[in-house]
Amino acid sequence: MVRQFEVKPNAYVYTSLMKGLCEKGDVDAAVRLKEEITGDADIVLDSAVYATLVRALFWVGRKCEVVGLLEEMKRRGIVADTVVYNAMIAGFCEDGRDPCAAFAVLEDMKKSGCKVDVVSYNTLLAGLCKLGRWQDASELLEDMPRRGCSPDVVTYRILFDAMCADGAFQEADQVLDEMVFKGFAPSKDGARIFVQGIVRKGNSSLESMLYRLANVNALESSGWERAVISVLNDLAEPRIEKQLDSLRIA
């Protein structure tokens, strides 16, 4: 760019290159690029650069260095925005066995006047569900409107999938009700696992469940086949029992 075309890279170009280096695990090279930017008065550093490094430091197990990055941002007059905070929330959720630190970041966002968005909550929900704590995730979802943030389709899918994976199909059924009411559809994988679980347990709510999934076009052909076979088997059982009774009498 510079030598052949005399085009000077801007902050977006540097950030993209840093992301690529971080994804390859070469955080040190990404940090050197950041230092190169800071030495160029024509390039304005923004929060996206630091958010990229924050996520990378968590990925490579160097979260202790995040504090230094935040202090550097403060010295340079760069405000930690939602992107930076969400990077920390994601890092703590993926890195630790206890999401308490992620919740602390959420509270710090509020105190600093930074807007907590649905990505912040979805990241926390995913972290809780990954630890098998979908009950806590369910409580957080219910609390989101009071906190000034409405759940989106991703929010519900995270919780629904976690419940199905844990075999909590009754609770997942309640979440499905709310999803369909809002016009949200579960993921294809989530719907498939849900149908398999309902069919396996012989749940009497199969017809209702199919109707709701059909309303949001969430069921693939294989799911319909499995459900229909289950219904036909259920209908056949009374006829078989009746025939056996007649044989016994004869």
For 43, the token pair is 């390039």
| pLDDT confidence band for 247 (50 / 70 / 90) | very low
Query: Domain spans of the chain?
Result: 1-57, 81-151, 156-250
pTM: 0.78
The pLDDT of residue 217: 81
> Residues 163-178: pLDDT tens digits?
999 999 999 999 999 9
* Pure H helices in 60-183: 66-75, 82-95, 100-111, 118-130, 134-143, 153-165, 169-181
Give DSSP secondary structure letters for 159-226.
Answer: HHHHHHHTT-HHHHHHHHHHHHHTT----HHHHHHHHHHHHHHT-TTHHHHHHHHHHTT---HHHHHH
